[in-house]
Chains A and B, each alone.
Chain A
Amino acid sequence: MEPFKLIRVQDNQAAIHAAGVTRTKFIAGGTNMLDLMKLNIETPKQVIDINKLGLNKIEELKSGNILIGALVKNSDLAYHPTIIKNFPVLSEALLSGASPQLRNMASVGGNLMQRTRCPYFYNTDFACNKRVPGSGCAAIDGYNRNNAILGTSDKCIATHPSDMCVAMAALGAIIHVQGIKGVRTIPFTDFHLLPGQTPHIEHTLKQDELITHVEIPALPSGSKSHYLKVRDRASYEFALTSAAVVLNIQNGRIKNARLALGGVGTKPWRALLAEKVLIGAIANEQNYRTAAAAALSQAKGHKDNTFKIELAKRTLVRALITTGGMS
């Protein structure tokens, strides 16, 4: 690990001003950041501890929207009664991630910003465009069972590992950030970036910007939601595939569908093509299958992960059946 300066801040302004300098990083729960620093993947000169910013509250707004502080712990969010009641997809996604110890440390902001689990990214002996731009991608022709099949490029096929983000993508969350120039909001799908030719640029946050909150829009009444995750062991493991499903069904017909996939995309993958199939359609297995096929229609497998195309379809179909039932 490189030596670094630790700065503890008490308010957002101090955090933002300290962050304006290059090679500066925020640290929240530290569950990803510290690992990356120990392995010399992140080598900040300054680390800003943002745990004292007071951004650890969950507020229910008059609109029914929920405003979640960026420092709210994954466990606290997962077990919040309103989240369990109105947004089970989010609670289930959080609880399917990592382990209780990690969830007790991990923050919402940190989860949004966590980096890929591509094994080559974690090993400085290998080429990796995300870690060292222009060095090459060892995964494309290497061991890539856990890599992505959607949104990949010839420079990077790394999966975005988060479960929480998949649920938030489906829920259409809004990210609130604050920088030297003031505050702004970013729609969830615009926050993470596809790798393209610049896989080291992963999001639209500027160097000085701090995530302060994530807002979850209220769902129309009668909405149901669910998160399903398939993995190689029963707990404490990232997804092979996962699906976040939000459905609003009236009289057997799907009025609204919001779907996202995990474990398969280079970013939390909103399945817009599948949503199009379902909106207005009858809630039955046939339509679920057609939607799943649409969701994966642009998927591209690699040597070890082609199975994810079929597994992701089945995961989505199962999640749809569980959520929407069949008419």
Chain B
Amino acid sequence: MIESVGKPIDRVDGRLKVTGAATYAAEFPVKNLAYGVSVLSTITKGRVKIVDIAQAKKMPGVIGIMTSENSMQLHFPNASDPGGGKFAEKDLLPLQNDRVFYGGQHIAVVIAETFEQAEHAAATIKILYDEQAPVVGLEKNIATAYKPGAGLGGAETQTKRGDAEAALQTAAVKTDETYTTPVYHHNAMEPHATIAEWKGDELMVYDATQSVMGVKGLLTSMLGIPAEKVRVVALYIGGGFGSKGFTWGNTILAAMAAKQFNRPVKLVLSRQQAFSAAGRRTQTIQKLALGADQNGKLSAIKHATTSETSFVDEFVETAGVATSMIYSSPNVDVSHELVRLNRGTPCPTRAPGEAPGTYALEAAMDELANKLKLDPLQLRLINHADMEEQKKKQFSSKNLKECYQRGADAIGWSKRNPTPGVTREGKYLVGYGMATATYPANRSASTARATLFADGHAEILCGTQDIGTGTYTIATQIAADAFGLPIDKVKVKLGDSMYPKGAQSGGSQVTASVGPAVRAAALGAISKLIDLAVSDSNSSLHGYKKGDIIADNGRIHLKSNPVKAETYTQILNRNGLDKVEAQAKTNVSTRAQAPTPAPAGSPEAKAEEESKANAAVQADEKTDRTPYSFHSFGAQFVKVLVDPDLGTIKVDKIVGVMDIGKVMNLKTATNQIMGGMIFGIGMALMENTQYDPNNGRVVTRDLAQYLVPVHADIPEIEVQFIDKPDPYISPLGARGIGEIGITGITAAIANAIYNATGKRVRDLPITPDKLI
């Protein structure tokens, strides 16, 4: 049978999605449902004196109103939550006290029979505050900057090797500039939505989340109920881009309200509310200095980032996280500082760290190339990192030079005029730009269960979720190959915390983490089937060696003689079995922390036990990964046209060539990279959230004010893959692909604009006013 992995097969959930049959969190038909509408703070800092609900209480359809006066008490989220969940604001559990830390914070929730009634009543609630002067504006408060702890996943925030400062002093050529990026909001199409329903002491939650397991863990600890009483379901997710990676107030508030008013409750944040109550990317101020010798060899890289966080949690936008490993340089100094502002808490956003960080670094590389009178591509080749110099490790697999070459060919790099601002196509100035893309290849522990049924079909269960990236499809392909079945005989079920624990959808890790577990579980089921056959005197395969038998197209047969075969159905029927089942847990992590063994007695512990006899798991776990550093790389190339009189910018073509290991599905992979590149267009040219300079509250908070690219902004996009398996990441050879597409692209666009106009804009977004 032909392998399905790698093939550009259509999404298995595509039809459900385009016909509206896919059920998203807010769409589950729950009987007797009540509707919640949240009322948010309209001051930036202070205390709530009175929430006047007198009028609202009496309005038609109102069931009740939850405020800090009457809401249930929450427990602090478990710091090492077993589900891996993170409550976004650890010091602001919703409705627990009267304090206001930012504009647009949950103050009350109205529950009514219909959404319209809840909305109407919510609008009548008057809140009296004790207002205090808020801390507004990053630049204005830069003096209060402090050095934060570790970043996401334990990422180091202060990294050094050699002496960058000294090397900069003596460098023959250097650039030292400040690059700034604004606040970005994720703006996934699906809102932040939750339905919570209690049945006795059992809680059922439908949630728009990137981690059903994380939400389950958080609800368990915050509500103080046993894990087995909580179930979280997210069958389809309409994008998260990081915003649904952490858990926000709406999820917990829905569960609280459902308990308090003894009704299932749906709570959905409006687009406007999500601009304060559901995360964002922070602003960054990045000082980037590069030093090089006359030939362009880097002697120093210094990358100092100041960003902001809220007063209720610490989130570091680790813009410098890739800087220490992306190029070869003996001296590197990466640092991060944070300023606390009265704004909602930031969270991971579309390649947190790398997206703004590669903008600054790759724009600086362009500036350096210009000073050296070197081709920017040449400068990258001169400074290519053959090994990971910070950790002093080899890369597990790296084909970046080939990415550069293929990208340059595809865009027509040879047509680039090194002198900026002089090349025209009609009335437009033409420019070419490029940049390096990179993202770490994360992998973490995952568990999956595989079942082969006597009717010849198979099923995979895994408590991960498909946030729109194609996980259902890829898991189906991987399982089909391992089961030896065509893809239409394999049903993959995800997005339910009842299933064995899978990875959370963040850090581009799902394919690398869940894929091997799915494969191992399916191989485990086949192995059990072979055991049944070889030990059964009624089987034609009786007595043969297990290792001489393979699975293919619904049958197992002798490798040497395909006619000596039995179908899965024959074997199961003869043994009076309706199915054979296996679970596998792959305990592999490329992250900073080592994987933790499952707690004794937990479902994962059982899977761990069974995995000891699973040859695929054993081979995978025994691979020695310590000598390697796992990263994906790529090259982004851009051609732009700029109208010099009006300052309007048209991205004419973009090419991304990515080295992400083995491509599991060309269609979904191309999709992911394209999406990332389009994010990059948004980030470079239009996206930004504005806060009022006087009171610090969000001003631009809908999709008419917060611009994302529309079709007319999207040029021809070419995506290519190197498609060489990474021999160390997993038996599948696939690293993640989710986020690398947005890295480098913003700088490539900015560099192309410089090449077109001779104007270096170091403050994103690059809008017409900055070019005239």
Contacts and interface: CB of A to CB of B under 8 A. Distances in A.
Interface in A221-279: 230, 232-238, 240
A87 interface: no
A138 to B, nearest CB: 7
B42 to A, nearest CB: 4
A310 interface: yes
Interface in B4-44: 42
B42 A233 contact: no
A123 B711 CA distance: 28
Nearest to B123: A40
Contact of B694 (A40, A125, A142, A314): A142
Given A119-B700, A311-B646, A232 B711 contact: no
Contacts of A315: 646
Interface in A100-135: 117, 119-120, 122-123, 125-126
Nearest to B706: A119
B370 interface: no
Interface string A292-317: 00000000000000011011001101
Interface in B690-707: 690-694, 697, 699-702, 704-705, 707
B686 interface: yes
Nearest to B713: A234
B705 A119 contact: yes
A230 B647 CA distance: 9
Given A123-B699, A234-B650, A1 B712 contact: no
B767 interface: yes
A154 interface: no
B569 to A, nearest CB: 52
Nearest to B103: A125
Contact of B646 (A2, A143, A230, A233): A230
A202 to B, nearest CB: 19
Contact of A138 (B648, B692, B705): B692
A3 interface: yes
Given A2-B120, A143-B699, A232 B707 contact: yes
**B contacts with A: majority SS:** loop
Contacts of B709: 233
B697 A125 contact: yes
Nearest to A238: B704
Interface residues of A, number: 34
B701 A123 contact: yes
B710 interface: yes
Interface string B90-114: 0000000000000100000000000
Given A126-B692, A141-B694, A143-B690, A234 B710 contact: yes
Interface residues of B, number: 36
A3 B120 contact: yes
A220 to B, nearest CB: 30
A53 to B, nearest CB: 28
B646, B691, B702: residue with the most chain A Cβ atoms closer than 10 Å:
B646
Given A1-B119, A311-B646, A142 B693 contact: yes
A122 B702 contact: yes
Contacts of A142: 692-694, 699
Nearest to B701: A123
Given A232-B767, A233-B685, A1 B693 contact: no
B769 interface: yes
Contacts of B694: 138, 141-142
A38 B685 CA distance: 30
A318 interface: yes
A235 B711 contact: yes
Given A3-B120, A233-B710, A236-B710, A119 B699 contact: yes
Contacts of A119: 690, 699-701, 705
A230 B648 contact: yes
A235 B712 contact: yes
A240 B699 CA distance: 18
B707 A233 contact: yes
Nearest to B714: A234
Contacts of B42: 125
A240 B769 contact: yes
B768 interface: yes
Contacts of B701: 119, 123
Contacts of B425: none
A125 B705 CA distance: 16
**A contacts with B: majority SS:** loop
B91 to A, nearest CB: 24
Contacts of B707: 232-233, 237
A150 B685 CA distance: 27
B116 interface: yes
B422 interface: no
Contacts of B704: 117, 238
B756 to A, nearest CB: 17
A235 B646 CA distance: 16
A285 B338 CA distance: 52
B119, B685, B690, B692: residue with the most chain A Cβ atoms closer than 10 Å:
B692
B699 A1 contact: no
Given A233-B686, A234-B713, A1 B645 contact: no
A292 to B, nearest CB: 12
Interface in B256-275: 272
Contacts of B123: 2, 40
Interface string B665-705: 00000000000000000000110001111100101111011
B673 to A, nearest CB: 22
A230 B648 CA distance: 7
A233 B705 CA distance: 12
Given A125-B103, A233-B685, A235-B712, A311 B647 contact: yes
A26 to B, nearest CB: 22
A237 B709 CA distance: 10
Nearest to A317: B645
Interface string B759-772: 00000000111001
A143 B693 CA distance: 7
A233 B768 contact: no
A130 to B, nearest CB: 15
B376 to A, nearest CB: 27
B105 to A, nearest CB: 12
Interface in B59-110: 103
Contacts of A125: 42, 103, 697
Contacts of A232: 685-686, 707, 767-768
A125 B42 CA distance: 6
Contacts of B120: 1-3
Interface in B644-663: 645-648, 650
B768 A234 contact: no
Interface string A133-161: 00000100111010000000000000000
Nearest to A141: B694
Contact of A234 (B699, B712, B769): B712
Nearest to B647: A311
Contacts of A99: 710
Contact of B772 (A234, A311, A317): A311
A295 to B, nearest CB: 16
A284 to B, nearest CB: 16
A120 B698 CA distance: 10
Contacts of A240: 768-769
Nearest to A303: B693
Closest A-B pairs by Cβ, 3 of them: A234-B712, A307-B769, A235-B712
11 contacts: A1-B119, A119-B700, A126-B697, A138-B692, A141-B694, A232-B685, A232-B707, A233-B685, A307-B769, A308-B769, A310-B772
Interface of A: 1-3, 40, 99, 117, 119-120, 122-123, 125-126, 138, 141-143, 145, 230, 232-238, 240, 307-308, 310-311, 314-315, 317-318
Given A233-B686, A235-B711, 19 more contacts: A40-B123, A119-B690, A119-B700, A122-B705, A126-B692, A138-B692, A141-B693, A141-B694, A142-B692, A143-B700, A145-B690, A230-B768, A234-B710, A235-B712, A237-B707, A311-B647, A311-B769, A314-B772, A315-B646
